[in-house]
Structure 1
Amino acid sequence: MSERNWTRQDIAGHMCDLYLPAHASNHGYSIIYLHDFALQGSMGCIHLTESFEQYGFCVIAPDVKRSWWSDKICLEFDENQSAENYLLESVMPWLAEHWQVVPPRIGLLGTGMGGQASLRFGFKYPDLFPVVAAITPKIDHQSSWWEPESFLDQMYLSEEAVRQDTATLHIHPLYWPRNIWFCSHSSWLDSAQRLQMKLSALGIPYEAELDHTDQTPTEYEKRMADPAVRFLTERLETERKRIG
């Protein structure tokens, strides 16, 4: 579908892009899309729109700038609240009030910066987000702390402090989201493989597609759009049936 299907709305002082399909899911399944570092809001997921429409997903894509979706203050986003706090305290209540959708009917999907956040939120709050998917998640992004444009040096005191807040370090061996899917372009494959090894070692179920590819990152993201959204569809339905 075209970009015209997206609308933009101010929610609690920050802009969010909203997508409403022509034929929504009978159960009101919705996705919070977590954008990448450069392409913010819906700009980063236009290539996913056809799949959103096909599977009947309502989608909200908050614009949190270059905050890494962290629980630390990023001045480019907001001087008083973190991106994580905004998601939990503003976006989630808005979805409940305006779309009448609450967990476990909400799936997380992110790309790049947002991909690592989707996984991290799932590991931190598995009851809120039992279904998470990530395309090329920038998991070990502590290596970017030295880059001024990353904003990480503004939020964290050191590269090690960033590492301690990565998705992999938030995994609890007894408390995790029941439905995890991720894939990775070759550019971030190493950190995705490290996550895969840790999940396997702990016996935590997941699905991953980590084959090397010669495609460009954009070509790869387009190719993985349907598998990611299809996973969310199937697993949100599983969660609905699980709780009756």
Structure 2
Amino acid sequence: MELIQNNRSFEGEQRIYRFDSRYLKTPTKFGIYLPPQALEGHSCPALFYLAGLTCTEETFAIKAHAQRLASQLGLILITPDTSPRGEGVAEGDNWDIGQGAGFYINATQEPWAEHYQMESFIVDELYALVTEEFVIHSGRIGIFGHSMGGHGALTLAFKYPEKFKSVSAFAPICAPSQCPWGDKAFSNYLGENREEWLKHDATALVQEKGALFNDILIDQGFSDQFYSQLNPALFQQACDTVNQPLTLREHQGYDHGYYFIQSFVDDHLQFHAVQLNP
């Protein structure tokens, strides 16, 4: 693991590391914000943040303005890239498939299967690496994300509740098996068997797994240009069916971008801080 960037931020450090991933079979980068408490050697709760389409390991760190409150709350923030990258890694014919669009699943179809193993990369490889290398309290880890990453956060939380104790999302793709983004990604990565798609669909997963969390926080803008792809109402209905508490907040005037995330990121950090308290 190689440290390639380190910047002081609110008495903590925003870092970027690079390492050779055995799952992605290519070098990859991830970001991590270490609050001052972590730099002093104190064990801290941590949050994985999964970014959306076209983003990188730096996008949230630069645009979300989360470090100030993370510093105060003593939260470690972990930001993986959104896909494998590099020469020899399959590329799509558009921005919503291929590099920058890994969808946080394990691809089973060619040419994607060799490198696009993002689910295992996150929950096995990166999870183990950061808990071993940094002062993370292993029983106090949450996950959140945006758009494609919101889909990833919700699905991975319901698949691996033993790893993630809290979950939230900004404008998540709540039912990818029922929208064009999901149709494109899942048919490419997983093939045409729609039963396989449901294993990576948050709305289907909550119906299958039942209530697993004390609460889930989702923020959604009504002026989101991708609203028709996101289907928060379907996820709300699924949560209601199994009595999974959900706080779905919908906001007039907000779109899909990082100004929206900046406006509510403090609420998400505070939400997770409460959920992750022993």
TM interval, shorter chain, is 0.7 to 0.9
RMSD: 2.9
Q: How many residues align?
A: 233
Residue 92 of structure 1: how far off its partner (Å): 1.4
Alignment partner of 1:184 out of 212, 220, 226:
220
Residue 118 of structure 1: how far off its partner (Å): 0.6
- Equivalent residues of 2:14, 2:34 under 8 A apart: yes
Taking the TM superposition and a 5 Å limit, the aligned residue runs for 1:155-194 are 155-158=189-192, 160=194, 162=197, 165-171=200-206, 172-174=208-210, 176-186=212-222, 187=224, 188=227, 191-194=231-234
Do structure 1's residue 42 and structure 2's residue 58 form an aligned pair? yes
**Equivalence for 1:69:** 104
Give the ranges of 4+ consecutive aligned residues of structure 1 lying more than 6 Å apart after TM superposition: 74-78
Q: Aligned to 1:199, what secondary structure does the other structure show?
A: helix
Residue 154 of structure 1: how far off its partner (Å): 2.4
State the Cα deviation string for residues 140-166 of structure 1 (Å, max 9, x = none): 33422565xxx5442032494545521
State the Cα deviation string for residues 124-182 of structure 1 (Å, max 9, x = none): 111211211111112233422565xxx54420324945455211111235462344221
Paired amino acid for 2:247: E
**Equivalence for 1:6:** 14
Paired amino acid for 1:9: Y
Identity percentage of aligned residues:
17
Taking the TM superposition and a 5 Å limit, the aligned residue runs for 1:192-207 are 192-207=232-247
**Equivalence for 1:109:** 144
Alignment partner of 2:69 out of 13, 28, 51:
51
Q: Aligned to 2:44, what secondary structure does the other structure show?
A: coil
Q: Distance in 1 between matches of 2:197 and 2:80?
A: 23
Q: Aligned to 2:218, what secondary structure does the other structure show?
A: strand
Paired amino acid for 1:59: L
- Equivalent residues of 2:148, 2:173 under 8 A apart: yes
Q: Aligned to 1:105, what secondary structure does the other structure show?
A: strand
**TM-score between both structures, scaled by the size of structure 2:** 0.73
Residue 76 of structure 1: how far off its partner (Å): 9.2
Change (3 A) 1:158 1:52: farther
What stretches of structure 2 of length at least 5 have no aligned partner? 1-8, 22-27, 84-100
Residue 223 of structure 1: how far off its partner (Å): 0.9
Residue 94 of structure 1: how far off its partner (Å): 0.9
**TM-score between both structures, scaled by the size of structure 1:** 0.82
**Equivalence for 1:154:** 188
Which structure has the larger Rg over C-alpha atoms? 2
Q: Distance in 2 between matches of 1:84 and 1:33?
A: 14
- Equivalent residues of 1:21, 1:58 under 8 A apart: yes
Paired amino acid for 2:266: D
Change (3 A) 1:177 1:12: farther
Change (3 A) 1:75 1:15: farther
**Equivalence for 1:97:** 132
